[in-house]
A and B are shown apart, each in its own frame.
Chain A
Amino acid sequence: MSAVSDCLFFAAVFQEFGVPVEFEPGWEIRGNGQTAAYQGLILHHTAIPASYENPGPGTRVLRDGRPDLDGPLCQMQGKFNGAVRFIAAHPANHAGASGGRSMGPLPTTNAFNRLVMGLEMDYAGNAPMSPEQYKIAKVAAIATKRLWGTVERARLHFETSIEGKWDAGWKPGTPIDANAWRANALALEAAGGDGDTMSAAGEALIIEQNKQILNQLTGSREVNQFPGWPHQRFGASVDTPKAFTLVDYIRGLDAKLMSNFDLSNRPGDLVPDDAVGHVLTLHALLLRILDEGLGGGPVIVELTPEQASALDTHVAAILTSRLDELAAELGTTEDKLVRALQRLVLTPSLKALPGAKV
């Protein structure tokens, strides 16, 4: 088969699995001067930040190259929004020197580029590719298997490179799991695309919902597009950013919780440095008060199981409803904390207990 045939074979498989394909003008006669004898696929990342709003920022570089590396730089561009763009049918400068840690059935040779097609996923590489791009990667591995006999001919650049490359990555310096990628591809093919086959409208809806969720969680570049939940805000002021997403909210909540406690005097055996840890600390201090009293002997003489349960309920309710007041009362020492707990929490709770002797 010719290079153009190989590319269009991939295009047919992409379309079979619902992946849109595009063609960069001139793709059919573009190449680095070598003639293709493709027998495998290399998966890369462009290291260019991309997004749903800007899904293919690398097109020009992949087509024309960089000042230090002549183009084309791949056969296919995997765009952030899930489309594949064919950049060049003929060999491109992407694979570098072969002979890396896990070549599979691919050969070690000085002329690797003419033997392997390059799929450049357009994303930064120091964070995961989009789910749509991962689907592209899986379908490309399926096409590899169908065209050249085994999915093992689909490799990460990380696997074949001797140059220390780590693409395609999902966090700084770390490639995706190559074996999982190939296994997931086989699973997708075995399922006949189930789970990935839906109407174009349905798929567009899912993608749009994913974008909404992502933006709601992390914010949006467009002011006020995702304002979050302003009515949940405490202490809002004119300086408060208008955009207030779930991440902002959790961060603010955590800061507020942390500010309520004196970390220097916590019991040493209760170390979790988070909200749960602080609740445990409070609980331990309450138990200590119940067991040892406040210097004048035990406070509680006896509690029935029902009374103990009721006490827990009251304590929890007061801790929740009077957190602000409690925090205002807390000082920097454990004694102050104990006194505040007794006055604000323990005493009202005990008074609410029917039949308890105080």
Chain B
Amino acid sequence: MMITRTLPPDAEDATIQAVVDHVRAELSAMADADDDPETNAGDVQIRVHALDAGARDGTTGQVYEDACVLVIGELDMEPDAPYLKPGYDPFAGVAEELEAIVRRDPAAAAALDSAAAKNRGKHVRRQ
């Protein structure tokens, strides 16, 4: 997983550090089923670069039009959350009148049905 943030080239050290902390916590939480910002924090790789206008970052290949401080965070883990796991019911606890908004949309309803058929035994849709 990767999160990249850009800051102005004259960003103060404290601001850069705050963004680094944010990136580390976000990635840790993304990979933890309980969203703990600390659990995986030690495994997050952080790099900070100062880029000139129009520079291309070697890792991502992304070109940045404006000069910036680039904060790149990487974590070699997969996202983990209940809704990403088999058996999750996205409409559990959702009021019927709200779910009906999706059901009234033919395209959205068809997509839900298709996903349910494709993931039968994985994602369970409440009927």
Taking Cβ atoms with an 8 Å cutoff, the residues of A that contact B are 1-5, 8-9, 11-12, 15, 21-23, 25-26, 28-29, 31-35, 66-70, 89-90, 93, 96-99, 110-114, 162-164
Size class of B's contact patch? Answer: 35 or more
CB-CB contacts below 8 Å: B95-126 with A = 95, 97-99, 101-102, 105, 107-108, 111-112, 114-115, 123
B42: interface (CB < 8 Å): no
Taking Cβ atoms with an 8 Å cutoff, the residues of B that contact A are 1-8, 11, 15, 18-19, 21-26, 29-31, 35, 37, 57, 59-62, 72, 78-84, 88, 90-95, 97-99, 101-102, 105, 107-108, 111-112, 114-115, 123
Contacts of B11 in A (CB 8 A): 163-164
B115 touches A110 (CB 8 A): no
Contacts of B21 in A (CB 8 A): 97, 110
B12 CB to nearest chain A CB (Å)? 10
- For B70, the closest partner residue in chain A by CB is A68
A47 to B94, CA, bound (A): 34
B95 CB to nearest chain A CB (Å)? 7
Contacts of B108 in A (CB 8 A): 22-23, 25
B93 touches A5 (CB 8 A): yes
A37 to B31, CA, bound (A): 17
B101 touches A11 (CB 8 A): yes
Contacts of A32 in B (CB 8 A): 30, 79
- For B24, the closest partner residue in chain A by CB is A110
A76 CB to nearest chain B CB (Å)? 14
A93 to B3, CA, bound (A): 8
B91 touches A28 (CB 8 A): yes
B83 touches A112 (CB 8 A): no
